[in-house]
Structure 1
Amino acid sequence: MKVAELVNHNYARLTANDQYVWQYVSNHRTEVVNMTLAELAKKSNVSKSSILRFTQKISFRGFSEFKYALKNEETTQSLEAAPVKKFGTIINATLDTLMTHDFSGTIRLMVRSRKVFLYGTGNLQRLMAQEMRRLFLADNVTLFVVEGVDEIKALTRTLTSEDLVFLISLHGESDNAISFAQSLRTNGIPFVSITSYIDNEIAKLANESIFVNTGEIEISENHTLEVADGFFLLASILFLRYCEFTNQK
C-alpha cells in the first residue's frame, strides 16, 4: 500500500496529534524525505516520540522505514510524471505546427482529382490511411487505401495525372516508398508526402509535403517510445480543413 492508503486504513486509530503529523508530512513530502526525525519534530512542532508512535500506528517499524516508503513514492511519481510531461510537450508542439500549416495546395489537389489513393509504408502509416478513409467517408468522400507492394505495382499501371496519391512514411526512407515516389514523379502523377521532420527523398519528390513532428520519450533505462500520435492529429486536421475549404465553395 501507499503511505496515504495506510493512513486511511488505520485512520480510526489516529489521534488528533497523529492527524496533524500526517497533514504536515503530506504537505511537505519532498522536504520530509530528506529530514531527520529531530528535524521533522522541530518543523512540525511535535515530539519525536509522537512521530514514532504515528509511524507505528500506520504499520511501519519506525521513522526510517516510514521515510524510505515516502522516498520511494516520490521517486516513482517523478519517473512517471516526466514521460507524461514530455509527451504533452511533443503533442502540443505538433498541434501548433499542424494548426498553422497551409493545406490549401493539398486540398486543391484532392478536389480536382478523379480518385485519391492512400499508401502507408508500415503498420502505423497504414492505420493513419485507414483513419483518413474513415474520416472522409463522413463527408461522402471515398479515399482508396492501397494495402501492399503488389497493389502498388498494379496501381501504378492504371494511375493518371487526374489521380492523387498520399504517400505516408514515418521517416521517408523506405525503399518501396522511394521507388513508388520516383515512379509517380516520372509518370507525372501528383502525390502528397506525409513524413516526420526528416530531410528525405520522398518529400523532395512530392508535389506537396506535410511534415509531422515526432519525438522520443525515455520510459526506462534501456527503452524509448517514439511518439507518432501526430499522424492521427494530422488526419483529423486535414479532414476539417478540407470541409472548411469545400463549404466555402
Structure 2
Amino acid sequence: MRLDELINKHYSSLNENDFYIWDYISKHKKECEKLAIDQLAYKCNVSRTTILRFAQKISLKGYSELKIYLKLENEEAKDNTNEMDTLCDNYYKVIKSIKEKDCTEIFKKLDSARNIYVYGIGMVQSSIKKELKRLFMTTGKYFYDLSGYKEAEFCLNSVDSNDLFILISVSGENKFVNDFAAKLKVKNIPIISITKLKENNLSKISDYNLYISALTLDDEINGISYDFVTSYFLLIEILFFKYLEYKKREAKI
C-alpha cells in the first residue's frame, strides 16, 4: 500500500498538524527520504513526537518505516527513458495491487446489497461502467447504470442503507460526484470508489477504495498528451476474477 492510499484510509484520524506534515512530505519526498526525524520536525515546525505519531496514525510502526516507504516510492518515480517500459510497469503495478488486495468486505457488500448502482461522468467512466455491468451480469449481479446529473439526484429519493453505490472518478475531485457522495453518506449508503492512486476527496468519503495507477505520456513531436485507460479494465477484470474465487470458497463452507 502506498502512502497516498494510507492517508486516504486513515484520513478521519488525522488532525491539522498531520495534514501539514503530509503536505510537506508529499511535496518534498526526495528530500524527506534523507531527513532524520528531528530535521523533519524542524521543517514542519512540530515536535519529533508529533512526527512519530503521524507515522503511527497511518498504520506504520514508526519513522523508519515511513522513510522506507519514501525510498521505495522515490525509486519508482525515477524517470524512465524507455516509455514502453514505463507503460508496462504501470500495468504491472495495477495488476499487483489488486491481486494482493483483500476484497472480502467489498464482495460481502456486493452480495448483501439490495440494489447496486454505478455512477461516473465522462466517456472513460461510461466505458468502465459498461464493462462492470457486462462482467458481473454473468454472476447474476445487476448494476443500475446512472447517467447524467438529474438521474443521480432523482435516485437519491429512493435509495437507502440497503443499497450500494460504485462511484468512478479519474481524479477523485469532480465536484458533482463528490457532493453526490456526501449526500449518500448522510443517508448511510455504502460507497465503493474507483480513482487514481493519489490523495483525493472521493476516496476519503468512500467506505471502500479501488485504485489504478493512471499514466499520461507526452508526444513531443505532435504536442499531444495521451491518457492510457487500460489500467481501469485490468482492475475490473481481476476484481471480477477474485469475486468468482470468493464465491467458490463461500460455496465450500
1:177 and 2:170 aligned: no
User: Deviation at 1:209?
Assistant: 1.0
Please give the alpha-carbon distance, in whole angstroms, between the structure 2 residues aligned to 1:167 and 1:190.
11
Whether 1:99 and 2:119 are equivalent positions in the alignment is no
Paired amino acid for 2:238 = I
Alignment partner, residue 219 of structure 1:
219
Taking the aligned partners of 2:171 and 2:105, their CA distance within structure 1 comes to 22
Contact 2:178 2:202 in 1 (8 A): yes
Cα distance between partner residues in 1 of 2:217 and 2:149: 32
Give the TM-score taking structure 2 as reference length. Answer: 0.64
| Distance across 2 between alignment mates of 1:211 and 1:236 | 14
Larger radius of gyration: 1
Q: Which residue of 2 aligns with 1:235?
A: 236
After superposing on structure 2, the runs of 4+ consecutive aligned residues of structure 1 that deviate more than 3 Å are none
Query: Which position in structure 1 is the counterpart of 2:204?
Result: 204
How many residues align structurally?
Answer: 169
Cα RMSD after superposing both structures = 1.5
SS of the aligned residue for 1:129 comes to: helix
- Between the aligned partners of 2:248 and 2:155, the Cα distance in structure 1 is 31
Give how far 1:85 is off.
2.8
Alignment of 1:118-197 (within 5 A): 118-197=118-197
TM-score (norm 1): 0.65
1:111 is aligned to 111
Cα shift at 1:219: 2.4
Query: Per the alignment, in what secondary structure is the counterpart of residue 225 of structure 1?
Result: strand
User: Could you say what secondary structure the match of 1:248 adopts?
Assistant: helix
Of all paired residues, the percent bearing the same amino acid is: 22
Matches within 5 A, 1:14-53: none
What is the SS of the residue equivalent to 1:95? helix
> Residues 57-103 of structure 1: CA distance to partner in whole angstroms, max 9, x if unpaired?
xxxxxxxxxxxxxxxxxxxxxxxx94333211211122111211121
Higher relative contact order (CA 8 A, sep 6+): 2
Q: Secondary structure at the match of 2:172?
A: coil
In 2, are the aligned partners of 1:114 and 1:163 still within 8 Å (CA)?
yes
Q: Which amino acid aligns with 1:240?
A: F
Give the conservation status (yes or no) of the 8 Å contact 1:192–1:206: yes
Letter of the 1:234 counterpart: L
Deviation at 1:132, TM superposition (A): 0.4
- Paired residue secondary structure (2:94): helix
Partner of 1:165, secondary structure, is strand
Structure 1 unaligned residues grouped into runs of 5+: 1-80
| Preserved contact between residue 168 and residue 194 of structure 1 (Cα < 8 Å) | yes
After superposition, the C-alpha distances for 1:133-182 in whole angstroms (9 at most, x for unaligned) are 00011222211111111110111111110000000000011111111110
Report the more deviating stretch, 215-224 or 141-150: 215-224
| AA of the residue aligned to 1:225 | Y
Give the aligned residue type for 1:175: K
